[in-house]
Amino acid sequence: MAVIEFRAALEAALPNARMARLRQVQQKAADLDMPTYLVGGVARDLLLGRQPGDLDLVVQAGDETDDIAGPRLARAVAERHGGDVTVHPAFGTATWLTPGGEPIDFATARTETYAHPAALPTVTPATSILADLSRRDFTFNAMAIRVDGDLFGEVLDPYQGQDDLFARQVRVLHAQSLQDDPTRLFRAVRYEQRFGFHLSSETQAQVPAGLATIPALSGERVRHELELIFGESVAPAMLARLDGLGALAATHPALSWGEAQTRRAEAMASLPVDDWRLAGSIGQVTTLLTLLLVRATPAEARAALQRLDVSRHVAEAASAALELRLVSAVPSDVVAQLDPLSTDAVVGAYVLRPEFRELLDKYLSRWRFVRAETTGDDLIALGLRPGPDFGRWLWGLRAARLNGSVSDRDGELTLIREWTQTE
């Protein structure tokens, strides 16, 4: 593909402010004579006519010991144009937070070797961008666009990623790919479903080898890939496909996904979050994890959550949602049962348990906000002495409000008088 096409595609796709930043990198990298490339999904997204996501740059190392080429360029650009640079020394990477607030990542080119399947790779700086591209997951993610100096816009596509995009397929770079790193099986499904592609025959043939090494993957790494999936609009289709391939069961036998889960997950798009005053803060991770575990026993679910090494908050919320049984429909009983749980747990239960939806909706939209007007200070003003009874009385007032037996402050005070006189 000619040089000019990617240059023009970048100019057309990127808003002016993003393009201006890239021009600043182009200039500085040329001044310092540092070959620099846009990598990751940028070339892929341009070819698919999608807005590129994060701008990820790779800077070629000066020699095999130069593990700070990326941070060096990031610092030089920020010195000239402002913004902040955070360096991650262990990875030879840096993030430039531009004055406009956009993070742009600068990595040093590197090669990888695997001590054993599913291990984290050993990395060394690479003096060739091709070495860096050869460690990537799929052909369409192994394209790079040069951005320094006059070569701006030149594309490198050593694995014919463009052909695979046109053939609408996800293709690994070599025969050991999924075995080396079975997180790629999760990634393959993510791209396949996001773009409506299929797995190439080579990729398909490696699925059994990938499945065999999934048990050796750390919980954190599988969870990270699942979380990337949870963030996608077609997450249910991805999870169903992973289930079909056996990847969920290989991760932990308690994880599964079927049509019933898809239906419940789809209901998540229309949760009345405004009524619940939870706009923008729905526990998507907890809810989808909970759905993955809906067929498991509580003990199996806990074991699976441990396998995925989830945070304590998520583990507790997911278990609470899975194990919830509402035994009474009396508002104060519902509130007493749900108040100790996190909102993620209650929302998870709402998605998971249609039989409790009505009560959970009332709790989320109204009951959890109901309070007595009387406070501890009011009780003191009534001449009562602070002590363990205070909490009981205040809860009693809140319960009375919830259950409709009082509706104003006078009613509350009457109740307090009754209780204190008879006690």
Which residues are near ligand ATP by CB under 6 A? 40-41, 53-54, 136-137, 141, 181, 183-184, 228
**Minimum CB–partner distance for residue 241 and ligand ATP (Å):** 16
**Minimum CB–partner distance for residue 133 and ligand ATP (Å):** 8
The 3 state secondary structure assigned to the chain is CCHHHHHHHHHHHCCHHHHHHHHHHHHHHHHCCCCEEEECCHHHHHHCCCCCCCEEEEECCCCCCCCCHHHHHHHHHHHHHCCEEEEEHHHCEEEEECCCCCEEEEEECEEEECCCCCCCCEEEECCCHHHHHHCCCEHHHCCEEECCHHHCCCEECCCCHHHHHHCCEECECCCCHHHHCCHHHHHHHHHHHHHCCEECHHHHHCHHHHHHHHHHCCHHHHHHHHHHHHCCCCHHHHHHHHHHHCHHHHHCCCCCCCHHHHHHHHHHHHCCCCCCCCCCCCCHHHHHHHHHCCCCCHHHHHHHHHHCCCCHHHHHHHHHHHHCCCCCCCHHHHHHHHCCCCHHHHHHHHHHCHHHHHHHHHHHHCHHHCCCCCCHHHHHHCCCCCCHHHHHHHHHHHHHHHHCCCCCHHHHHHHHHHHHHHC
Closer to ligand ATP by Cβ: residue 40 or 153: 40
Closer to ligand ATP by Cβ: residue 184 or 401: 184
**Minimum CB–partner distance for residue 311 and ligand ATP (Å):** 20
**Minimum CB–partner distance for residue 95 and ligand ATP (Å):** 13
Closer to ligand ATP by Cβ: residue 137 or 148: 137
Closer to ligand ATP by Cβ: residue 120 or 205: 120
**Minimum CB–partner distance for residue 184 and ligand ATP (Å):** 5
**Minimum CB–partner distance for residue 228 and ligand ATP (Å):** 6
Closer to ligand ATP by Cβ: residue 71 or 210: 210
**Minimum CB–partner distance for residue 38 and ligand ATP (Å):** 11
Closer to ligand ATP by Cβ: residue 76 or 156: 156
Closer to ligand ATP by Cβ: residue 108 or 332: 108
